[in-house]
């Protein structure tokens, strides 16, 4: 017998500005369940999550939370105002029986010390603090609205592993396909005010969604055919009994009403890039280029050849130098050493991460047309701006709406529309997937696949990189960058490890985080007056083992620095990558064991 749900929403109804948003929606969350909550932008996902959290009162329906069940909600825009430090903000989310040590521990793991002023945090740092606040209590239910927003790849990898280890039930809204695929075990789809549930993870959602929509289309076709049959009877069979005539006329009116009132699937964005003249076969070439700022090496001895039609993905943590690398390759920035060459007839259209090409004093029309005229030229076809706006799901009424009033998803679509309207044979897209819903991501992927020119994509979206990139450039630290054939998953397979291991560093050594009273600190092995012979021997020999493991790892890492190793000997590349991963694990275990024994020795001697 299944356990009763911890959280139950029944017949939830909500109308906003006279339009029904949710109509009889149901949501059930059982112990340990992991639900992906999906749907188009504006379908009501975030609103439903806020109703589940008890922050929004619906127009109708009931919300039931099991007595004693704890629930924590992560909003898209966390509010840290009113707290002197980040630690105080995180600790405020703890319950009376929760372990206060976890607040400092999670902040530390996420790269924050806890004494930071909340008003001075970046968007990514606010997101990390908010994650620590909802995860620290280890609640019965976690409601997560876009948890990966503003996070870089190392933090996303860390978060995925940390959340995966919790016993909490979860409802997750995310545009990150890979995140949903790896964590969800069931999927709830909000579509046209209704909720449909699939008792399988998000990896099965898109196939199921397409089947549902195909069945709807079939039913709609049957309905249309039935209307034709009824109209035929009305025209040619009116000699039947009057009572039956009235009934059949009523049936026909009802059928027509169904068609008129039937809420069809919202349209898709139409993405088409304006094309310029064909570029030369060689688009860009860099030979041993380097760039440093002060003592910090951003790019060091990097070489690459980019040919027409290549789809180059760039992945890595924030601050690694991805934008600097792009500026070096495109000629916007001169390298300190080495040289770059730009191919013939190159015309670049760029989309920057901050959407700075969208001026605050613009309306939507100004952004599309550049502030002049009513038309845009797309591949030689003159198109009215209103029609082009419609391709990106904007209504004619929004033409004079200020850019500042747009949501994040609308700004993302508008910036894409503006970038794609510019003639180009090369696209440089910096985080193009930010705030886009899954259907728009699909269309952007198809547009990139059909684009005849060259594309450089910077993204934290692992699934998107897998779908579009023919090769992926990743940082290895200290200014070193390596190009790997394939997408993100191919890069991870070749490296043998992800970004979190290298770039996700705690703010302070974990051993220095003291567990506050009255919670008992986790002790090393129980003291018995003196160390055992086995422990003393391990304490004496572990430093040598650690040095040997470090030397082996460094030697293999040096071999991996050869940029031609994969092309020359793929089997050797894979073997070395796996060996480095195993050495890293052994080294971490040895260092942890030595630390435990050293703490035990100090306790016995002190």
| pLDDT grade for 521, boundaries at 50, 70 and 90 | very low
Count the alpha carbons within 13 Å of 120 in the hemisphere toward its beta carbon.
Answer: 7
In a domain, residue 353? The reply is yes
In a domain, residue 267? The reply is no
| E strands present in 17-158 | 19-29, 34-38, 60-65, 71-74, 141-145
Pair type for strands 454-458 and 426-430: parallel
* 397 and 427 fall within a common domain: yes
Per-residue model confidence (pLDDT) at position 138: 94
* 63 and 162 fall within a common domain: yes
- Mean pLDDT of all residues in 465-483: 92
In a domain, residue 382? The reply is yes
Per-residue model confidence (pLDDT) at position 398: 81
Q: How far is CA 310 from CA 208, 437, 553, 578, in A?
A: 33, 26, 34, 29
* 15 and 55 fall within a common domain: yes
| pLDDT grade for 520, boundaries at 50, 70 and 90 | very low
What is the rounded distance in angstroms from the CA atom of residue 547 to the CA atom of residue 370? Answer: 61
Q: Are 78 and 475 in contact (CB under 8 A)?
A: no
Tell me the pLDDT tens digit for each residue of 210-264: 898 888 888 887 777 777 766 655 555 544 444 555 565 566 566 555 554 544 4
Q: Note down the domain range covering 420.
A: 282-495
Q: Tell me the backbone φ, ψ of residue 493, rounded to 5 degrees.
A: -65, -40
In a domain, residue 516? The reply is no
In a domain, residue 1? The reply is no
What is the rounded distance in angstroms from the CA atom of residue 184 to the CA atom of residue 356? Answer: 35
In a domain, residue 150? The reply is yes
| SS3 state at 384 | strand
Number of compact structural domains in the chain: 4
Residue 116's nearest CA partner among 84, 94, 93, 81 is: 84
- Estimate the crossing angle of helix 488-495 against helix 570-605, to 10 degrees: 60
CB contact burial 470-493 (16+ within 10 A = b; e otherwise): ebbbbbbeebebbbbebbbebbbe
Tell me the pLDDT tens digit for each residue of 126-160: 999 999 999 999 999 999 999 998 899 999 999 99
* 353 and 420 fall within a common domain: yes
Segment (H or E) for 21:
strand 19-29
Tell me the pLDDT tens digit for each residue of 348-371: 888 776 555 677 778 888 887 777
Per-residue model confidence (pLDDT) at position 448: 82
Task: Tell me which of 268 and 488 has the higher pLDDT.
Answer: 488
Task: Say whether pLDDT at 275 is over 60.
Answer: no
Residue 153's nearest CA partner among 419, 421, 503 is: 503
Per-residue model confidence (pLDDT) at position 581: 72
Count the alpha carbons within 13 Å of 476 in the hemisphere toward its beta carbon.
Answer: 20
Per-residue model confidence (pLDDT) at position 340: 93
Task: Say whether pLDDT at 101 is over 50.
Answer: yes
Task: Say whether pLDDT at 522 is over 90.
Answer: no
Identify the CATH number of the domain in which residue 36 sits: 3.40.50.300
Per-residue model confidence (pLDDT) at position 287: 94
| SS3 state at 518 | coil
Q: How far is CA 291 from CA 302, 318, 482, in A?
A: 10, 17, 15
Per-residue model confidence (pLDDT) at position 483: 93
Per-residue model confidence (pLDDT) at position 238: 46
* 469 and 320 fall within a common domain: yes
Rg (the chain; Cα; Å): 29
Q: Are 373 and 433 in contact (CB under 8 A)?
A: no
Q: What is the value of pTM for the model shown? A: 0.72
Any idea what DSSP says for residue 342? E
Tell me the pLDDT tens digit for each residue of 535-583: 777 888 888 888 888 888 888 878 877 767 766 777 787 787 778 778 8
* 442 and 349 fall within a common domain: yes
Q: Tokens representing 205? A: 């959602």
- Mean pLDDT of all residues in 182-189: 96
Residue 202's nearest CA partner among 425, 48, 35 is: 35
* 154 and 109 fall within a common domain: yes
Out of 378-392, 412-426, 501-515, least confident range:
501-515
For the chain, percent helix, then strand, then coil, each to nearest 5? 40, 20, 35
Pair type for strands 194-198 and 186-191: antiparallel
* 222 and 201 fall within a common domain: no
Residue 183's nearest CA partner among 36, 16, 282, 374 is: 36
Out of 103-117, 207-221, 314-328, 502-516, least confident range:
502-516
| pLDDT grade for 276, boundaries at 50, 70 and 90 | low
- Mean pLDDT of all residues in 485-513: 80
Q: Are 295 and 417 in contact (CB under 8 A)?
A: no
The three-state DSSP-derived secondary structure of 479-513 is: CEEEEEECCHHHHHHHHCCCCHHHHCCCCCCHHHC
What is the rounded distance in angstroms from the CA atom of residue 561 to the CA atom of residue 604? Answer: 45
* 316 and 237 fall within a common domain: no
Place of tokens 């506050």: 516
Out of 28-37, 462-471, 535-544, least confident range:
535-544
Segment (H or E) for 585:
helix 570-605
Identify the CATH number of the domain in which residue 545 sits: 1.10.287.380
Q: Tokens representing 367? A: 């952004």
- Mean pLDDT of all residues in 506-528: 53
| pLDDT grade for 32, boundaries at 50, 70 and 90 | very high
What is the rounded distance in angstroms from the CA atom of residue 98 to the CA atom of residue 593? Answer: 28
Per-residue model confidence (pLDDT) at position 51: 97
- Mean pLDDT of all residues in 10-29: 92
Residue 313's nearest CA partner among 302, 325, 301, 300 is: 325
Task: Say whether pLDDT at 512 is over 50.
Answer: yes
How buried is 175 (Cβ within 10 angstroms: 0-12 exposed, 13-18 middle, 19+ buried)? buried
Per-residue model confidence (pLDDT) at position 291: 95
How buried is 164 (Cβ within 10 angstroms: 0-12 exposed, 13-18 middle, 19+ buried)? exposed
* 82 and 190 fall within a common domain: yes
Q: What are 235's strand-pairing partners?
A: none
Q: What are 14's strand-pairing partners?
A: 22
What is the rounded distance in angstroms from the CA atom of residue 305 to the CA atom of residue 321? Answer: 19
Q: Tokens representing 473? A: 């450039």
End position of a domain, from candidates 458, 475, 495 = 495
Q: What are 267's strand-pairing partners?
A: none
Task: Tell me which of 381 and 165 has the higher pLDDT.
Answer: 165
Out of 169-183, 202-216, 561-575, least confident range:
561-575
Residue 7's nearest CA partner among 130, 143, 117 is: 143
Per-residue model confidence (pLDDT) at position 510: 55
- Mean pLDDT of all residues in 517-526: 45
Per-residue model confidence (pLDDT) at position 500: 85
In a domain, residue 183? The reply is yes
What is the rounded distance in angstroms from the CA atom of residue 156 to the CA atom of residue 577? Answer: 22
- Mean pLDDT of all residues in 434-454: 81
Average pLDDT, the chain: 83
Tell me the pLDDT tens digit for each residue of 48-97: 999 999 999 999 999 999 998 999 999 998 999 999 999 999 999 998 88
* 31 and 165 fall within a common domain: yes
End position of a domain, from candidates 189, 207, 225 = 207
In a domain, residue 44? The reply is yes
* 533 and 591 fall within a common domain: yes
| pLDDT grade for 461, boundaries at 50, 70 and 90 | very high
Task: Tell me which of 406 and 307 has the higher pLDDT.
Answer: 307
Determine what percent of the chain is predicted with pLDDT higher than 70.
Answer: 84
């Amino acid at each position: 017998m299944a356990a009763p749900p911890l959280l139950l929403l029944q017949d939830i109804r909500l109308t906003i500005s006279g339009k029904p948003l949710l109509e009889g929606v149901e949501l059930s969350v059982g112990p340990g369940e992991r639900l992906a909550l999906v749907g188009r932008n504006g379908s009501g996902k975030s609103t439903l999550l806020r109703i589940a959290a008890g922050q929004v009162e619906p127009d109708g329906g009931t919300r039931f939370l099991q007595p004693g069940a704890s629930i924590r909600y992560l909003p898209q825009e966390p509010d840290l105002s009113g707290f002197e430090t980040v630690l105080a903000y995180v600790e405020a989310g703890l319950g009376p029986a929760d372990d206060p040590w976890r607040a400092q521990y999670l902040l530390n793991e996420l790269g924050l010390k806890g004494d930071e002023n909340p008003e001075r945090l970046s968007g990514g740092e606010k997101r990390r603090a908010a994650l620590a606040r909802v995860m620290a209590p280890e609640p019965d239910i976690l409601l997560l609205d876009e948890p990966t927003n503003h996070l870089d790849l190392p933090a996303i990898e860390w978060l995925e592993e940390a959340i995966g280890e919790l016993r909490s039930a979860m409802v997750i809204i995310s545009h990150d396909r890979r995140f949903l695929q790896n964590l969800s075990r069931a999927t709830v789809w909000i579509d046209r005010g209704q909720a449909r549930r699939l008792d399988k993870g998000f990896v099965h959602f898109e196939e199921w969604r397409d089947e549902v929509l195909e069945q709807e289309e079939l039913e709609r076709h049957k309905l249309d055919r039935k209307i034709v049959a009824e109209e035929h009877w009305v025209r040619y069979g009116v000699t039947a009994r009057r009572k039956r005539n009235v009934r059949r006329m009523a049936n026909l009116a009802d059928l027509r009403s169904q068609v008129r009132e039937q809420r069809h699937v919202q349209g898709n964005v139409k993405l088409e890039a304006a094309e310029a003249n064909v570029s030369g076969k060689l688009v860009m070439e860099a030979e041993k280029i380097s760039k440093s700022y002060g003592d910090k090496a951003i790019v060091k001895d990097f070489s690459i050849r980019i040919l027409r039609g290549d789809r180059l993905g760039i992945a890595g943590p924030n601050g690694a130098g991805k934008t600097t690398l792009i500026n070096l390759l495109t000629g916007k920035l001169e390298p300190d050493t080495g040289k770059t060459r730009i191919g013939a007839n190159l015309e670049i259209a760029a989309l920057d991460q901050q959407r700075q090409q969208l001026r605050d004093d613009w309306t939507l029309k100004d952004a599309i047309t550049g502030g002049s005229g009513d038309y845009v030229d797309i591949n030689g076809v003159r198109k009215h701006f209103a029609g082009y706006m419609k391709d990106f799901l904007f209504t004619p009424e929004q033409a004079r709406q200020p850019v500042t009033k747009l949501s994040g998803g609308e700004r993302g679509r508008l910036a894409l529309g503006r970038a794609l309207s510019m003639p180009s044979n090369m696209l440089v897209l910096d985080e193009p997937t930010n705030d886009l819903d899954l259907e728009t991501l699909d269309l952007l992927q198809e547009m990139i696949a059909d684009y005849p020119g060259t594309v450089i994509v910077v993204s934290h979206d692992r699934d998107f990189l897998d779908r579009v990139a023919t090769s992926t450039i990743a940082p290895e630290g200290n200014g070193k960058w390596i190009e790997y054939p394939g997408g993100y998953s191919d890069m991870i397979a070749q490296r043998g490890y992800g970004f979190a291991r290298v770039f996700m560093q705690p703010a302070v050594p974990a051993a220095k985080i003291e567990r506050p009273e009255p919670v008992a600190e986790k002790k090393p092995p129980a003291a018995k007056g003196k160390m055992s012979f086995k422990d003393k021997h391990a304490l004496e020999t572990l430093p040598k083992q650690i040095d040997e493991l470090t030397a082996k790892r460094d030697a293999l890492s040096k071999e991996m620095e050869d940029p031609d190793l994969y092309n020359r000997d793929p089997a050797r590349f894979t073997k070395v990558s796996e060996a480095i991963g195993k050495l890293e694990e052994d080294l971490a275990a040895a260092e942890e064991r030595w630390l435990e024994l050293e703490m035990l020795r100090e306790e016995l001697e002190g």
